[in-house]
Amino acid sequence: MLQTTAYKALTSDTLSTRLGELTSLTSRVGTETKDWKIQEVGDGNLNLVFIVEGSKGSVIVKQALPYVRLVGDSWPLPLYRAYYEHEALVRQAARNPGTVPEIYHFDSDQALIVMEFLSPHTILRHKLIAGERVQGLAAFLGTFCARTAFRGSELSMKSSDKKTDVSLFAGNIEIPAITEALVFSDPYFNAERNHHTPELDDVVNELRQDVELKTRVQELFMSFASNTETMVHGDLHSGSVMSTATDSMVIDPEFAQYGPMSFDLGMLIANFLMAYFSQPGHRSEDTLDEYQEWILAIISESLVTFEDEFTTLWNNERTGMLYPPTLFEDQGHSSQAALQSLLNRIRTEAMGYCGIEMHRRTLSLAHNADFEEIKDNTVRASLEARNLMMGRELILTSDQILDAGTLVALARQYNKGDFL
C-alpha cells in the first residue's frame, strides 16, 4: 500500500502522496487527497503526529522517529518501538475497551500507526493548568489502572500466554532504558542531562545527600527492572490522557513494558500532585483553593476506584494461577485478607514510584509544563520545593500511607510548607 518499505519520515507535504491509497485511511477521511488538511501536532519527544482532515472526517497518523526529539538526533532510538506501542494498544483495548484510540492501520516498516482522532479532546495537562474540570476523570483512570494491571497479570491470564508476552516485550530494551536512566538514576546525582530551577540548589543537595532515600529508590528501581507482574502503560502522566469536559481516553503507550502493578497508579498520582502544587503559579486566590481541592478529590477518588475495581476483578475474574480459588474459596476460606495484603503492597509501592516521579520531573531531563510554565523563578522554585519534599516523604514512608485520606492530608500539609 505504501510506496516504499524503507523507513522514511513523513512530512506534511509527502503524507498525502505516501498514504493516499490506504483504504483504511481514505475510507475515514475521503479519497480526495488534494483536499486533505495535514497538520503536524506532535508535542512529544519521540514521534511525528499528524492530524489528517478530509471531507469525511479526521484521523491521526503517528510515526516513530529514529531519535529522541528533545535531545536532537544524539539519542538514537529503534523504530521497532512503534511495534510495541501497537501491541500495547491492542492489549489495553482488550483489557479496558473504549479507553484507548482505535487503530485503523499499522505499518511496521514505516513505524507508523493510523488511529482514531480524538475530538474535541485535549491533553489533560493543559486542562489542569487552565483550571478546567473533567467529569468522571478519577473513575475512568482508577478503573483503567485496575483493569490493565489485573487483566495483564497471572491473577487473570493463563500463565503460558503471559510468559509468552513477557518474552515478546523483553525484546524492547531501549525504551525501558530511558525510564531507567531519567527516572531512577539521574535525579539522584548531578547527571549531565539534568536541569533544575537554580533556587532549588539547597533542597536538591539535601535530597542527593540522603542515603536512606537513595537506597529506597534503588529498591524500587530493582523491582521496576525485574518485576514482570503485568503490562504497564509505563508513562501514565496527564500528558498521556486526553479529555473533554465529560470524557477521557488514554494515549501514547510507547513506554509499555512488563512491570509492577503499582507503577502506572504511582505515576498518575504523582502527576496530579504536581498539578496540585503548581496551581498557585497559574491561578489567583479566588479560585485557587477550590480548584486545588478538586485535584485532591481526583487523587483520592482515583486511588479508591483502583482498589474497588481491583477488588471486583479479584472476586469475579481470578482465573490465573496466582491466589487460585482452589486454595481459598473452594476450601471455604475467604481470600479477602490475601487481597488486602496485596492491595497494601501495591499501594505502598505506588507511593514510592509516585515520589520518584515527583523528583524526576523537577530534577531530571524531562520536566512538566505544570511547573515549567510558571515564569517567575522564585514562585516556581517555592512550589517545586514542596513537590520535592513531599516526594521524599512518600518514598521514605510509603508503607504508612494507608489510605487516600492520609495521602491528601499530607499534600495539604506540604502545600503550606516553605522549604527555601
Catalog residues that contact its own copies under the rule CB under 8 A. Answer: 154, 159-160, 163-164, 166-168, 170-171, 173, 176-177, 180, 185, 188-189, 208-209, 211-212, 214-215, 218-219, 221-222, 225-229, 321-324, 326-328, 330-331, 333-335, 337-338, 341-342, 345
In angstroms, what is the minimal distance from the CB of 307 to its own copies?
Answer: 18
The residue among 180 and 372 lying less far from its own copies, judged by its C-beta, is 180
Residue-wise DSSP of 98-120: TSSPPEEEEETTTTEEEEEPP-S
Phi-psi sector, 388: left (phi>0), alpha (psi -120 to 50), beta: alpha
Contact, 415 vs 288, CB < 8 A?
A: no
- 107 or 154: whose CB is closer to its own copies? 154
We find the least distance from the C-beta atom of residue 361 to its own copies, in angstroms, to be 19
Q: Toward its own copies, which CB reaches closer, 93 or 225?
A: 225
Whole-angstrom Cα distance, residue 165 to residue 48?
27
Residue 203 or residue 410: which is nearer to its own copies going by CB? 203
Contact of 142 with 236, CB cutoff 8 Å: no
Q: How far is the CB of 263 from its own copies (least distance, A)?
A: 13
Residue closer to its own copies by CB (options 97, 171) is 171
Minimum distance between the CB of residue 158 and its own copies, rounded to whole angstroms? 10
User: Cβ of residue 182: shortest distance to its own copies, in angstroms?
Assistant: 12
* Locus of grid cell 475474574: 317
Q: Please, which residue, 31 or 185, has the CB nearer to its own copies?
A: 185
Q: How far apart are CA 243 and CA 122, in angstroms?
A: 5
> Do residues 182 and 364 lie in contact, with contact meaning Cβ atoms separated by under 8 Å?
yes
Find, among 183, 318, 187, 155, the residue nearest to 263 by Cα. Answer: 183
**Quick one: 70 or 170, whose CB is closer to its own copies?**
170
Q: How far is the CB of 175 from its own copies (least distance, A)?
A: 11
Strands (E), 97-177: 103-107, 112-116, 122-123
Residues ≥6 apart with Cβ < 8 Å to 402: 344, 347
In a 3-state reduction of DSSP, which class is residue 258? strand
Query: Residue 386 CB, nearest distance to its own copies (Å)?
Result: 24
Contact (CB, 8 A) for 47 and 16: no
Of 182 and 296, nearer to its own copies (C-beta) is: 182
- Minimum CB–partner distance for residue 157 and its own copies (Å): 11
Provide the 8-state DSSP code for 67.
B
